[in-house]
Amino acid sequence: MLRECLDYLDVKEGEIVVDCTLGLGGHSSEMLRLVGPKGKLFSFDLDERNIAVAIPNLDAVGNNYKVIHDSFSSLKNRLKREGVSRVDAILFDLGLSSPHIDDAARGFSFQKDGPLDMRFDATQGETAADILHGRTESELADIFYYFGEERRSRRLAKAIIEFRKKARFESTLQLRDFITEVLGKGKPGKHSATCIFQALRIAVNKELEALELGLNQALELLAHDGRVVVLSYHSLEDRFVKQTFKQLATDLRDPNDPFGRRVLRPKSLSLLNKKPITASPEEIADNSRARSAKLRAAKKL
Ligand SMILES: C[S@@+](CC[C@H](N)C(=O)[O-])C[C@H]1O[C@@H](n2cnc3c(N)ncnc32)[C@H](O)[C@@H]1O
């Protein structure tokens, strides 16, 4: 949804803009082209390999950009170090990029065999295997229940603890087969491992914490009339974005005021789309990940 993102970002010449999720640089390159030589782009990514691919793509457009190898949860601090406290447009295109899925060695896919890694930043932090071996039974059940929305989370967590007593989880296919044994194969078109792999990935990369921190900082950083666009790929992310936008797009009134007139915090956002934008059938045919994409956009008042 490149075109839709760019429409809502409405980037103008000379503006300061941020891409929180550089990936391979598709959106960033367009944002850099639109700000022109007098503007500035800051792009964040946790993945050094994606950054290495994106930089030549950005260089082909201009040099008024800075790539920051860090989480967007450090947005405000990292921009402060660059002397930036106000931004005109901010994009979040959340989650995985295609190399994460295509490269079996990253451990995100259960279609190919690879190590149980799943870190966006392969230089630090716990892997999926570390989580499977380091968490208690109830912590694992919570991860599967809350991040994978798996109703049989306790059954799986119990089986993992039993397995752990005699062996180690090493590879993606081994874990997929283990999940199939415990939970069954799942429905046609949705393997039961899908939700469990999603849950582990969210836990490994602390994705929901990062989104909460990053989005709140982004909304503080936006200048008057600044735009924020979020593309999310699962309901947990989209729910959070929807609620945050809705809260800030409504006056907070004093519940103790009998006439309901006293405003404690005036609204600071205007929603640019009431319903989330989804990908066209053509885009979904081209890229199956787009099927679950939801775009929400807002403007700072
Ligand atoms: C869907 S891809 C972005 C694709 C990008 N828009 C493009 O045009 O190529 C998401 C990217 O965000 C990165 N990422 C995920 N969580 C992050 C975080 N908390 N901070 C910074 N980057 C993150 C991933 O490493 C991945 O490269």
Q: Over the stretch 124-168, which tens digit does the pLDDT of each residue have?
A: 999 999 999 999 999 999 999 999 999 999 999 999 999 999 999
Q: Is the CB of 67 under 6 A from ligand 1?
A: no
CATH architecture group of domain 2-98+207-300: 3-Layer(aba) Sandwich (3.40)
Q: Over the stretch 27-62, which tens digit does the pLDDT of each residue have?
A: 999 999 999 999 999 999 999 999 999 999 999 999
Q: Is the CB of 50 under 6 A from ligand 1?
A: yes
- Which of helix, strand or coil describes residue 42? strand
Q: Which fold has domain 122-204?
A: DNA polymerase; domain 1 (1.10.150)
Report CA(37)–ligand 1 centroid distance (Å): 25
Angle between helices 193-204 and 207-221 (to 10 degrees): 60
Q: Over the stretch 198-249, which tens digit does the pLDDT of each residue have?
A: 999 999 999 999 999 999 999 999 999 999 999 999 999 999 999 999 999 9
Q: Is the CB of 26 under 6 A from ligand 1?
A: yes
Nearest to 93 by CA among 200, 5, 194, 30: 5
What does 88-121 look like in DSSP terms, one character per residue?
Answer: EEEEEE-S--HHHHH-GGG---SSS--BS---SS
Question: What residue spans define the domains of the chain?
Answer: 2-98+207-300, 122-204
